[in-house]
Amino acid sequence: MKILIIEDETELLITTANYLTKEGFTCELAKSFAAADEKVSIYQYDIILLDITLPDGNGLDLMKAIKQNNLQAGVIIISAKNSLDDKISGLDLGADDYMTKPFQLSELNSRIRAVLRRRKFDGSNIVEFNEIGINTHSREVTVNDVIINLTKREYELLLYFIINKNRVLTKEAIAEHLWNDNIDLADNFDFIYTHLNNLRKKIRKAKGSDYFKTLYGMGYKFTDQT
Amino acid sequence: MKFLNKINRQYFWTLSISLMVVSLVGYFVLRMILKDEIKEDILEKEYAIVKEIKSDGNLPNIYPIIETKKVTKNKIEAKSYKEIYISDESENELEPYLEYTNTVKINNQYYLIKLRHSLLENDALIVAIALPLLLLLILTFTILFILTKKWNKTLWKDFEKNLQTIESFSFKNIQDLSLKQTHIEEFDRLNKTIINLTDKLSKDYTILKQFTENASHELQTPLSIILLNLEELLQQDLPEQAFKQVVASINAVKRLSSLNQSLLLLTKIENNQFNDRNELIINKIVENKMQEFTPLLEKQQLKIELNTSESLVLKLNEKLAGILINNLFSNAVKHNIPNGTIEITITENELKICNTGKENTLTNDTVFNRFTKENSQSYGLGLAIVKQICDNHHLKIYYTKENEKHCFTINKNFIYFKKGY
C-alpha cells in the first residue's frame, strides 16, 4: 500500500511517515505544492494525505491533478482550518475524508483503513484478528465463525481497536472517535467503560479471548501479545 | 432638530429682531421729521397772524388751534414749544398737541400768540410703518420657507443619499463605501474624510480578523506535532508514573487545541462569518442531540423529560444551531448531579432547558461571560458561544433559577435593539 504524505511541516511529516511505515505502508513524502504536483502526475498511490495550506499553493488545487492521474487514490484532506467551507469544497472535489489538526495517529489510521475499505471491493472489507472477523460491508462480527450481535457503538469500538491493534489508546481518543466532534465533554469519558464491558462480555460468551488490556486505568491496548 | 428647521428658525428670529429695530428707528426718525414740519407750519401761521394784526388789528382765535391776546409787558412769555394734552369735546378724551408760545410786539403793544397743532397723526404713523414691515416679514419668511424646502429636495438630495449609504454600511460587507459626489464643497470634503476613515478602519478590521484567524490556525500545527510525539511516546513500555504524565500531557494539548478552536469559533461568529441561514425546526435538532447524549445521561443516571406540544422554528445557520443545542446540552449534563433531571420544554416561541444542579452564585449577567466556570474541567466558553450565537441571530437568551433548577430560555419574540454601529 503506497501512501503519499503532502505536508510542509517536517516534524509532522516525519512522525506521520514513521508511524504509517510501522503500520505496513510504503510512504512517500512531499513538502511543497510543486513536489506533490510532480509526484502525483508520475506515480500511483493508494492513499494521499493532503495538507491544504502549503507554502507555494492551496492543496485543494492539487485535487484536479490527483483526479486526472490518480483516480484510484483515496484522498484525506488534513487542514489546520476547521472550516466548513474548505471541508465541503474538498469533499466536492472528490476527497474521501477531512481531518483537522491536531489529529491523533490512531484516528488517522482508522480513517485511512476506512477509505481503503470503501475504495476496494475485492474482499478487503473483511477485517480479521485471530478468531474475530468483521465484515465492514454487512457490518457483521463473527467470533469463531459465530455471528455476535453488537450495538452500533460496540461495533465501532471493536473495529477501532482491531485497526489500532497493539497500540495504546487513551480513553479520550476512543471517546472522540465514537463521538466525532462533540466538543466540551470534559471529564465525561468514562461512559466508554459500559460499552467496552458489554463488548468484552459478548466476545467471551462466544468463547473468544479477551484481548483488551487496561493500562493504569487511563488507556487500553488491544493485543494478543503479552 | 433638522438642519433646515434650525436654519429657518434662526432666519425667523434674525428677521423679526432686525425688522423690529428698523421700525423703531423709522418711527422716531419720522416723528422727528414730522415735528419739524409742524414747527415750520406753525411759524408760517404765526407770520400770517402777525401780518393780520399789523394790517387791521384783528385778533384771530380758533380754539384750540389759534389763541391770541394782548398782554402787558410783565406778562411776556418767551418763545417755547411744549407737548400738552387737551381734552377733546367730541370724543371726551385727552389728545396730544404741540403748543407754540410766543410774544410779539406790534406798535408798542405786546401780543401773546399760542398756536397748537395736533400730534394725533403719530398713531397712524406707527401703523403706517409697522404694517408694511410686518407684511414684509411674513412675505420674506414665506418665500424663504418655500424656497429652502424646494432647495432641500435638490441641494440636500445627494447628501441625504450618502447619509443613507453610510448608515447601512458595515465592515462585514466586502464592498467599499462609495459616496455620491454632491458638487458642494463642504459635502464633498465630508465624503472624502469619511471614505478615508472607513478605508482605514476597514483595513484594520480585516487585518485584525485575519490575525485572529491565522494565529489560531498557526497554533494548530505545533499542537499537532506535540500531540503526535506524545502519542508515539505512549506506545513505548512506560512505567505507570510516566504513562500517566504522558496521558495528562496529551489531554492538556487537546484541551489547548479545543480551547483555541472555541475561541476561533467565537471570533468567527462575532465576525458574522456564518451567513447562510435557514428555517430550522429546533425540535428535530433537540431530539437528535438527546440520542447522542444518551450514553452520558445513562452514565450519570439522569432523567430527561421532553415536553413538545408545538414546533419551534428558528432562522439559524445550521452548523451554529447544532453547536447551540450541543452546548446547552453539555452544560445541562456537566453541571448536573447524579440521579438528577433535565427538563426540556419547546413551545412555538421558546426553548427552555432546565437541569438540577449544585448551588452557584451565577446570575444572568455573569453566566454567559467568557471563562466563567464552575469547575476546572470546563473552559467557560460554551455558554459564551451560545450567547454570541443568540445575539447574532437576534434571539433572547436568559438564565433563571426556578425551584432549585437552573434554566436557560431562548425566546424568539424579542425585539432586539441593534447597537448603532
DSSP string of B310-378, one letter each residue: S--EEEE-HHHHHHHHHHHHHHHHHT--TT-EEEEEE-SSEEEEEEE-------TTTTTSTT--SSTTS
Residue A167 contacts B, CB cutoff 8 Å: yes
Residue B166 contacts A, CB cutoff 8 Å: no
In chain B, pLDDT over 70 holds for what percent of residues? 94
In chain B, pLDDT over 90 holds for what percent of residues? 14
Between CA A194 and CA B109 the distance in angstroms is 149
Which segments within B41-79 are labelled E, that is strand? Answer: 66-71
Residue whose C-alpha is closest to residue B177's, from B205, B211, B207: B205
Look at residue A122 and tell me whether its pLDDT is greater than 60.
no
> How many residues does the structure list for chain B?
421
Interface test with B, best of A88, A105, A183 (most B CBs within 10 A): A183
Question: Which three cell numbers, joined as nine digits, stand for B179?
Answer: 459616496
In this predicted structure, what is the pLDDT of residue A83? 65
Inter-chain touch B220–A18, beta carbons under 8 Å: no
Across the range A25-39, mean pLDDT stands at 92
Between CA A159 and CA A139 the distance in angstroms is 10
Instruction: Give the number of other Cβ atoms within 10 Å of residue B272's Cβ.
Output: 13
A123: distance to nearest CA of chain B, Å?
31
* B234 → chain A, closest CA residue: A168
Lowest mean pLDDT among A57-71, A127-141, B80-94, B323-337: B80-94
Inter-chain touch B261–A53, beta carbons under 8 Å: no
What b/e sequence results for A141-163 when a residue is b if at least 16 CB atoms lie within 10 Å of its CB, and e otherwise?
bbbeeeebebeebbbbbbbbbbb
Handedness of CA A39, A40, A44, A49 (dihedral sign): positive
How confident is residue B420, by pLDDT bands cut at 50, 70 and 90? very low
Lowest mean pLDDT among A29-33, A40-44, B20-24, B170-174: B170-174
Question: Which three cell numbers, joined as nine digits, stand for B44?
Answer: 408760517
Look at residue B381 and tell me whether its pLDDT is greater than 80.
yes
Between CA B54 and CA B329 the distance in angstroms is 128
In this predicted structure, what is the pLDDT of residue B421? 34
Question: How many CA atoms, within 13 angstroms, populate the side-chain half-sphere of residue B22?
Answer: 14
Q: Which of residues 169-228 of B touch A (CB under 8 A)?
A: 217-218, 220-221, 223-228
Inter-chain touch B234–A15, beta carbons under 8 Å: no
How confident is residue A149, by pLDDT bands cut at 50, 70 and 90? very high
Which positions in chain A touch B319 (Cβ < 8 Å)?
84
How confident is residue A185, by pLDDT bands cut at 50, 70 and 90? low
In this predicted structure, what is the pLDDT of residue A184? 52
3-state DSSP assignment of residue B87: strand
Across the range A106-128, mean pLDDT stands at 80
CB burial of residue A224 (10 Å; 0-12, 13-18, 19+): exposed
Across the range A127-156, mean pLDDT stands at 90
Look at residue A187 and tell me whether its pLDDT is greater than 90.
no
C-beta of residue B100 within 8 angstroms of C-beta of residue B84: no
B223: distance to nearest CA of chain A, Å?
6
Inter-chain touch B223–A103, beta carbons under 8 Å: no
In this predicted structure, what is the pLDDT of residue A28? 92
* A219 → chain B, closest CA residue: B247
pLDDT tens string B190-245: 889 988 988 888 888 888 877 877 787 788 888 988 998 998 899 888 899 999 99
Across the range B274-279, mean pLDDT stands at 83
ipTM entry? 0.81
How confident is residue A104, by pLDDT bands cut at 50, 70 and 90? confident
Between CA B120 and CA B114 the distance in angstroms is 19
Tell me the CA distances in angstroms from B45 to A65, B40, B48, B108, one per residue in order. 124, 9, 5, 22
In this predicted structure, what is the pLDDT of residue B378? 65
Across the range B73-101, mean pLDDT stands at 81
Of all helices (H) and strands (E), which one includes residue B268? helix B240-270
How confident is residue A84, by pLDDT bands cut at 50, 70 and 90? low
- Residue B67 main-chain phi, psi, to 5 deg: -135, 120
In this predicted structure, what is the pLDDT of residue A183? 45
Which positions in chain A touch B377 (Cβ < 8 Å)?
186-187
Residue with cell 433572547: B396
Predicted model pTM: 0.63
Look at residue A95 and tell me whether its pLDDT is greater than 70.
yes
Mean of the per-residue pLDDT values for chain B?
83
Mean of the per-residue pLDDT values for chain A?
85
Question: Which three cell numbers, joined as nine digits, stand for B329?
Answer: 446540552
Instruction: Give the number of other Cβ atoms within 10 Å of residue B209's Cβ.
Output: 17
Find the CB nearest A183 among B250, B251, B258: B258
Inter-chain touch B220–A183, beta carbons under 8 Å: no
Across the range B15-24, mean pLDDT stands at 84
Look at residue B158 and tell me whether its pLDDT is greater than 50.
yes
Between CA B412 and CA B394 the distance in angstroms is 8
Q: Give residues with Cβ within 8 angstroms of A200, minimum separation 6.
A: A210, A212
- Residue B257 main-chain phi, psi, to 5 deg: -65, -40
Q: Give residues with Cβ within 8 angstroms of B382, minimum separation 6.
A: A183, A184, B262, B327, B330, B331
Across the range B255-283, mean pLDDT stands at 84
Look at residue A186 and tell me whether its pLDDT is greater than 60.
no
Q: Indicate the residue type of B66.
A: I
CB burial of residue B191 (10 Å; 0-12, 13-18, 19+): buried
Look at residue B5 and tell me whether its pLDDT is greater than 90.
no
pLDDT tens string A2-25: 999 999 889 899 999 999 998 889
Look at residue A226 and tell me whether its pLDDT is greater than 70.
yes
How confident is residue B418, by pLDDT bands cut at 50, 70 and 90? very low
Between CA B295 and CA A156 the distance in angstroms is 15
SS3 content of chain A, % helix, strand, coil (to 5): 45, 25, 35
C-beta of residue B191 within 8 angstroms of C-beta of residue B161: no
Which positions in chain B touch A105 (Cβ < 8 Å)?
228, 231-232
Q: Give residues with Cβ within 8 angstroms of B83, minimum separation 6.
A: B96, B97, B98, B99, B119
In this predicted structure, what is the pLDDT of residue A202? 93
Look at residue A199 and tell me whether its pLDDT is greater than 90.
yes
3-state DSSP assignment of residue A55: coil
Instruction: Give the number of other Cβ atoms within 10 Å of residue A103's Cβ.
Output: 21
How confident is residue A101, by pLDDT bands cut at 50, 70 and 90? confident
Instruction: Give the number of other Cβ atoms within 10 Å of residue B293's Cβ.
Output: 22
pLDDT tens string B169-182: 877 666 777 888 87
- Residue B222 main-chain phi, psi, to 5 deg: -60, -35
Lowest mean pLDDT among A113-117, B128-132, B283-287: B128-132
